Amino acid sequence: MNTRRSLLQFLGGSLAASFVPWRALADGSTASSEDFFIFVHASGGWDVMLSTDPRNTRTGLIEPPHSGNMTKTGIRLWTDAPLGDGNSSFQLVQPKGSNIVFGPAIGNLSNYASRMTLFNGLAMNTVSHPDGTIFAATGRHLAGGRVPASSVDTIIASELGTSQLLPLVSIRFPSYAVDGIDPRAIPLKVDSIGAIGKVLTRSTKYSTVATRDAVTMMLSAEAKDLAKEAFYPEPQANFGLQLDALRGILSGNLKDAFTDATLKAKYPSFAYTGTSQAVGAINAAFALEAMQRNISRCLSFAFSGFDTHTDNYDDHATSQQDMFDTIAELVKQLDSTPHPTKTGKKLADHTHILIVSEFCRTPQINLLGGRDHYPNNSAIIISPKFKGNTVIGSSDKDQLLPTAARTFASGARAPAPPDILSTLLSSAGIEPSTFVRDGEIMKEILV
Amino acid sequence: MRSSIAFALFAAFAAAGCSKTPDPAKAEPVLGKASDLPGHESLKVDNSHKEGPRTLSGESYIRSYLFLFGGLSPIDSQTALRGSGTTADTSLFDTWSDYLGALGMPDYREDIARSTQTNALMIAAFERIGVALCDRATEHDLKSGLTPATVFTFKKTATMPTRAEFDERFDVLHRRFLGYPAKLAPTDRGSRFFTVFSDASGTAADAGVRLTGQDAGWTAVCYGLIRHPEFHLY
C-alpha cells in the first residue's frame, strides 16, 4: 500500500513539475524579469495598403485606396497623388532618415519609425478570422477548432511573469494557454477594464476582509492537501496556486485604479473622445498603469473596426490612424515614465510591443465597396532589443502576396508569424523551440 | 365529498406517523464493497482512473448556485442579491452580464470565445458571486428566520456551538454543497472550517458588519463550501 502511494505521489510530483516554467529550470538565464510586453491585435484584418505596406498606383490586381473608395478627410498624412481618373490616391509617407515607407493611415506612429521593426509580406495561409488570429498569436494554425499551442503573451507571462499579481491581462486578445504554462499565468481574459474593477469589488457591509481572506487561505490549504491525495494532482494544485494569487490581487487595492474614470483622469493625453478607438485608448492607459505599478508582465488588448467588407471600408483609414495614434501616444508615455524598479531607466527601455492582425485585405475593391480577406499580412515590433528602422519581408507589386524574401534554414521563403514569435521569445531569453514548433529566429534584426 | 376529504387527511396523517422512510440528508455513510450488492457478486469493478478533475463551463456553476440557493431564475436572483429598501447593497452584486467575461463565458456580441481554464480573476468572480449568495442566504435563513430556509436548514444553537454541535450542522451544509458526508472528507476539513467559523463569529461584532455572532460564522462556512476546490473541480 505504501509502495503504491509512494509511486503515485512520485508520479504526481512529476506531473506537477511539468507546470514549473522552463525558465525556472534553466541555469544561467539571461532573460530579464523586469521587462514588460504589450501585445496588440488589430481585430478584423487590416488593410496594409493604407499604412504598413502602402500602394498608391493601379498595378496588376491592385486597386489602391483613393478618394473614390474611401474617406480621406481627417487622415492627416494624406497628400493627394492623382490617379488620372479624377480620383486621388496618396503620396507615400517616408519619415526623414527612415528606411520605411508608410501609407498615411500610420498616423503618429510614423514618428517612431527609427525604433520600428516592420514585417511585410507575412505568409498567413489563411483567410479565416479565427485561424488567422490564432496563427498570429500562437504561430500555429487551428487544429480543427482546437488551439494547438499557447499564445506568445501567455508563454512570456509563464516564463517571466509568475511573480506578478496579474501576470497577463488579456482584453479581447487571442490569449491561450495550452501546455507547459504555469497556472498563475493563465490569461486573465476580460472584455473590458471595468470588468476587472467589478470583479474585485467586495461589499464591506456583511463580512470583513479578514474573514474572506481566511476562507481563501483555508481553501488553498484544502486544495494543496487534496492534490497530495489525488491520482491527478495538477488541477487541485493549480487551483491552490490561483487561490494564493487571488489573495494577492484582493490585497492590492487594485479595483479603484482600474476604472475608466480613474484611468482617464490619470492619463489625459490619450484620445478618449472623438476617436473610433476610445476603448483601445482606455486599454492602453490600463497597460501603462499596470506597468507603473509593476503588477503585470504582459498586457494584451485589441483594437477593432477593421473587418470592412462593405462600404464601411470608407472608415478603415480612420480606424487605423486612431489605433496607430493611440500606440504612438503609449510609446510617448513609455518614454517619459520611470521604470518601477530600475533606477534611472524609463519604461520604454524595458518594454516590447508587438502589433499584429489576422491577415490583410484584398487589393481589389469588391462589389459592395469593401475589401475582403487576403492571406498576406504585416506586423510591427517596437522594442529596444530589435533593430529599428528595419523592414523584413515584402509583398509582390502586382498581387500583394508574400514573396520569398528571406533565406531561412529550409531555403528562401516568406517570413511568417512563427518566425516573428520565435525571434521575440528569443530576445526575451526564452528558448523558442520549447513553445513554437515552426519558427526560426531572425538574428539579423536583434540588437 | 366531506368524507372523502376526511379519509384523505386521515391517510396522509397516518402515512406521516407510520412511515419510517429514511431521511437521505441524515443517512449515515456505509462503506462496503460493490460485490456485497445483490447481483454484483460476480461482477468485476473497474477501478481504473479515467480522467482527472476539471472545471465545467460557467453556466454549470451558475445553475448550481441558483439551484442551491433557492432555485430563482437568474434575473430574479440578481434582483434579490442586489436587495432593496434597507437591505439594498449594490456593492454586493452588479449584474450577471458584468461577470460573463471574467467567468470565462463566451460573449457572442464581441465574438469572444469561451475560456476553458480557470484563472485568478475567474476565481475572484466566483468568490464575489458566492459571497453575495451566502450573505443573502444567511440574512434570509438565520438572521430573519424566514421559512422555508434555502441553505441553512438547521437550527442555530442558543449559545456558540460546541465542536460536536458545529460538526452536526456543518455536515448538513457539506452534504448540500459537496454532496457527501463531511466525515468522509479526505482532509481535516471539519477542524479547518471550525477554526474559520470561530474566528469569523468572534470578530464580526467588532467590525461593525451586518452579520454577527453565529450568523457571521455560518456565512464564512458557506463562503468556503461554495468556493471549495471539490465544488469547482468536477
Determine the Cα–Cα distance for residues A404 and A387; give it in Å rounded to an integer: 21
| Residue A395, burial from CB neighbour count under 10 angstroms (0-12, 13-18, 19+) | buried
| A235 with B52: Cβ contact below 8 A | yes
CB-CB neighbors (< 8 A) of A186 in chain B? 117-120
Determine the Cα–Cα distance for residues B67 and B14; give it in Å rounded to an integer: 32
Q: CB within 8 A of A161, min separation 6: which ones? A: A33, A167, A168, A185, A296, A297, A298
pLDDT tens digit sequence for B41-53 = 777 777 777 777 7
Mutate to test the interface with A, among B121, B223, B234 (most CBs of A within 10 A): B121
Q: Is A249 on the interface with B (CB under 8 A)?
A: yes
Average pLDDT, chain A: 90
- Give the helix ranges, DSSP H, for B69-207: 74-82, 96-99, 120-138, 163-178, 189-207
| B91 with A201: Cβ contact below 8 A | yes
**Residue-level pLDDT at A270:** 97
Query: Average pLDDT in the A87-107 region?
Result: 97
Asked whether the predicted pLDDT for residue B18 surpasses 60, the reply is no
Query: Residues of B numbered 104-133 whose beta carbons fall under 8 angstroms of chain A's beta carbons: which are they?
Result: 104, 107, 110-112, 115, 117-121, 123-125, 127-128, 131-132
Shortest Cα distance, chain A CAs vs residue B87, angstroms = 10
Q: Is A7 on the interface with B (CB under 8 A)?
A: no
Name the pLDDT band for A11 (thresholds 50, 70, 90). Answer: very low
pLDDT tens digit sequence for B87-127 = 777 788 888 888 888 888 887 776 677 877 778 888 889 99
ipTM of the complex in this document: 0.80
| Residue A384, burial from CB neighbour count under 10 angstroms (0-12, 13-18, 19+) | middle
| A207 with B204: Cβ contact below 8 A | yes
> Residues B197, B221: contact at Cβ < 8 Å?
yes
Beta strand A168-171 pairing with A298-303: parallel
Q: How many CA atoms lie within 13 A of B70 on its CB side?
A: 22
pLDDT tens digit sequence for A235-289 = 899 899 889 888 888 886 777 777 889 999 999 999 999 999 999 999 999 999 9
Q: Is A208 on the interface with B (CB under 8 A)?
A: yes
CB-CB neighbors (< 8 A) of A204 in chain B? 91, 209
Cell, residue A246? 487571488
Q: Is A256 on the interface with B (CB under 8 A)?
A: no
- Helix or strand holding residue A372 (H, E): none
Length of chain B: 234
Nearest CB partner across the interface for B124, out of A200, A207, A214:
A200
Report the candidate in A319, A65, A301, A68 with the shortest Cα–Cα distance to residue A187. Answer: A301
Q: Is B43 on the interface with A (CB under 8 A)?
A: no
Beta strand A373-374 pairing with A360-361: antiparallel
Query: Residues of B numbered 1-30 whose beta carbons fall under 8 angstroms of chain A's beta carbons: which are they?
Result: none
Average pLDDT, chain B: 83
- Helix or strand holding residue A373 (H, E): strand A373-374
| Residue A274, burial from CB neighbour count under 10 angstroms (0-12, 13-18, 19+) | exposed
Buried b (16+ CB within 10 A) or exposed e, A343-353: eeeebbebbbb
pLDDT tens digit sequence for A105-122 = 999 999 999 999 999 999
Determine the Cα–Cα distance for residues A140 and A421; give it in Å rounded to an integer: 11
Mutate to test the interface with B, among A5, A206, A222 (most CBs of B within 10 A): A206
Buried b (16+ CB within 10 A) or exposed e, A12-23: beeeeeebebbb
Determine the Cα–Cα distance for residues A58 and A397; give it in Å rounded to an integer: 10
| B220 with A215: Cβ contact below 8 A | yes
**Residue-level pLDDT at B119:** 82
**Residue-level pLDDT at B85:** 75
**Residue-level pLDDT at A10:** 38
Distances (CA, A) of B172 to A90, B67, B165, B169, B176: 74, 16, 11, 5, 6
What is the separation of C-alpha B86 from the centre of its chain, rounded to a whole number of angstroms? 25
Rg (CA), chain A: 23
CB-CB neighbors (< 8 A) of A179 in chain B? none
Handedness of CA A212, A213, A215, A220 (dihedral sign): positive
Q: Is B202 on the interface with A (CB under 8 A)?
A: no
Nearest CB partner across the interface for A219, out of B104, B118, B229:
B229
Domains of chain A: 31-201+255-445 (3.40.720.10)
pLDDT tens digit sequence for A383-413 = 999 999 999 999 999 999 999 999 999 999 9
Strand-by-strand arrangement of the A116-119 sheet: A188-190, A168-171, A298-303, A36-42, A351-357, A379-382, A116-119, A390-392
Asked whether the predicted pLDDT for residue B54 surpasses 70, the reply is yes
Beta strand A80-82 pairing with A116-119: unpaired
Asked whether the predicted pLDDT for residue B86 surpasses 60, the reply is yes
Determine the Cα–Cα distance for residues A78 and A84; give it in Å rounded to an integer: 17
Q: CB within 8 A of B182, min separation 6: which ones? A: B167, B170, B171, B174, B175, B189, B190
Determine the Cα–Cα distance for residues A402 and B181; give it in Å rounded to an integer: 64
Name the pLDDT band for A353 (thresholds 50, 70, 90). Answer: very high
> Residues A61, A99: contact at Cβ < 8 Å?
no
Residue with the three cell numbers 520611470: A338
CB-CB neighbors (< 8 A) of B100 in chain A? 191
Determine the Cα–Cα distance for residues A417 and A440; give it in Å rounded to an integer: 10
CB-CB neighbors (< 8 A) of A177 in chain B? 117
* A145: closest chain B residue by CA: B113
- Helix or strand holding residue B139 (H, E): none
Asked whether the predicted pLDDT for residue A144 surpasses 70, the reply is yes
Determine the Cα–Cα distance for residues B207 and A298; give it in Å rounded to an integer: 38
- Give the helix ranges, DSSP H, for A303-384: 316-336
Residue with the three cell numbers 453575495: B132
pLDDT tens digit sequence for A354-389 = 999 999 999 999 999 999 999 999 999 999 999 999
Query: Average pLDDT in the A182-187 region?
Result: 88
CB-CB neighbors (< 8 A) of A236 in chain B? 53, 229, 233
| B52 with A230: Cβ contact below 8 A | yes
B60: three-class secondary structure by DSSP: helix
**Residue-level pLDDT at B27:** 63
